[in-house]
């Protein structure tokens, strides 16, 4: 990144960035890459020891300020907790990088509580953060919102019933926000991922497949480079190829067309 691009990134998305789900894998790599561009950080995850390691490493590497917030993103008061931790800070970029536990098993083998936890993590969590941070971004006329997702959003499927459903919620949420906030200078992008070889996959005993798997740092780099290329940017060749087969319509054009229709309908109802 050139000095000019570095300055543009800082001016567009600074001074502070919030990265939720930053204790390892893609989230930790995105936090590192945002810090490399000069933004100070608030990093959030429920694993406090890992989160502290990430924060220390980023401070030493980039010399920026990093604050940690140990927090389970399914907690009912997630919005209030994050608001309190960032009070008085100018947050210009939020990255919500939430996965999903117990995602590869038949629906009826998961309890209702397990399914609801995925809804809280992937749907309610980003809603809380966007409601808090988007208004000042819109008022300033600049900012960025990134919601990482999964190519599982493309279609419902066995063994990922709730996971695929909540990931589709992420896509539609980001696309609607892009339509509403883009004209105010706020970039919004959903980033559905191909398979990424994360520490979680390693713990499951899955072997790295170079023909299938992205490395976390490569996925993170592609996401950060495409914040302004919303509303939806599929990350990795495999995800983009699958999206081209299943969703051949250009998402940006489709969102723009649907938004024109919904705005006209809303205006009609208001008169």
Separation of CA 180 from chain center: 18
Given this model, what pLDDT does residue 233 score?
97
Give the integer Cα–Cα distance in Å for 37 and 33.
7
- Tokens standing for residue 106: 């038949």
41's enclosing H/E stretch is strand 40-45
Judge whether 41 and 16 are in contact, CB under 8 Å.
yes
Give the integer Cα–Cα distance in Å for 144 and 17.
9
pTM of this prediction? 0.95
Given this model, what pLDDT does residue 66 score?
98
Cα angle 19, 144, 78 (rounded to 5 degrees) comes to 40
Give the integer Cα–Cα distance in Å for 126 and 170.
9
Given this model, what pLDDT does residue 2 score?
80
**Looking up tokens 């920026």, which residue turns up?**
64
Given this model, what pLDDT does residue 103 score?
63
Nearest to 184 by CA among 224, 145, 143: 143
Report all structural domains of the chain as residue ranges with CATH numbers, in order of start: 3-270 (3.40.50.720)
CA separation (Å) from 209 to 107, 194, 230? 27, 12, 29
The pLDDT tens digits along the chain (271 residues) read 788 888 899 999 999 999 999 999 999 999 999 999 999 999 999 999 999 999 999 999 999 999 999 999 999 999 999 999 999 999 999 999 987 655 678 999 999 999 999 999 999 999 999 999 999 999 999 999 999 999 999 999 999 999 999 999 999 999 999 999 999 999 999 999 998 887 777 777 778 777 788 999 999 999 999 999 999 999 999 999 999 999 999 999 999 999 999 999 888 777 7
Nearest to 69 by CA among 41, 109, 31, 36: 41
- Residues 6 or more apart whose CB falls under 8 angstroms from that of 129 comprise 18, 20, 78, 79, 82, 94, 96
Given this model, what pLDDT does residue 102 score?
55
pLDDT in tens, 8-64: 999 999 999 999 999 999 999 999 999 999 999 999 999 999 999 999 999 999 999
Beta strand pairing call for 66-70 and 91-96: unpaired
């Amino acid at each position: 990144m050139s000095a000019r691009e570095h300055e543009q990134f800082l001016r567009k998305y600074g001074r502070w960035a919030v990265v939720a789900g930053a204790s390892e894998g893609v989230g930790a790599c995105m936090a590192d890459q945002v810090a490399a561009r000069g933004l100070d950080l608030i990093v959030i995850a429920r694993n406090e020891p890992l989160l502290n390691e990430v924060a220390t490493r980023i401070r030493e590497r980039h010399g920026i300020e990093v604050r940690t917030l140990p927090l389970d993103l399914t907690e009912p008061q997630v919005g209030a907790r994050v608001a309190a931790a960032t009070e008085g800070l100018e947050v210009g970029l939020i990255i919500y990088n939430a996965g999903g536990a117990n995602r590869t098993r038949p629906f009826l083998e998961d309890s209702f509580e397990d399914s609801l936890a995925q809804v809280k993590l992937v749907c309610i969590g980003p809603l809380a953060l966007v409601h808090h941070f988007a208004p000042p971004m819109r008022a300033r006329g600049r900012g960025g919102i990134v919601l990482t997702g999964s190519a599982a959003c493309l279609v419902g499927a066995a063994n990922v019933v709730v996971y695929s459903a909540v990931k589709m919620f992420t896509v539609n949420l980001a696309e609607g926000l892009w339509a509403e906030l883009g004209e105010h200078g706020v970039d919004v992008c959903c980033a559905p991922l191909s398979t990424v070889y994360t520490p979680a996959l390693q713990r499951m005993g899955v072997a790295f497949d170079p023909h299938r798997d992205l490395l976390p740092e490569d996925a993170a780099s592609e996401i950060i480079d495409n914040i302004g290329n919303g509303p939806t940017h599929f990350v990795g060749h495999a995800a983009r190829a699958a999206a081209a087969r299943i969703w051949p319509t250009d998402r940006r054009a489709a969102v723009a067309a649907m938004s024109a229709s919904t705005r006209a309908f809303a205006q009609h109802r208001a008169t």
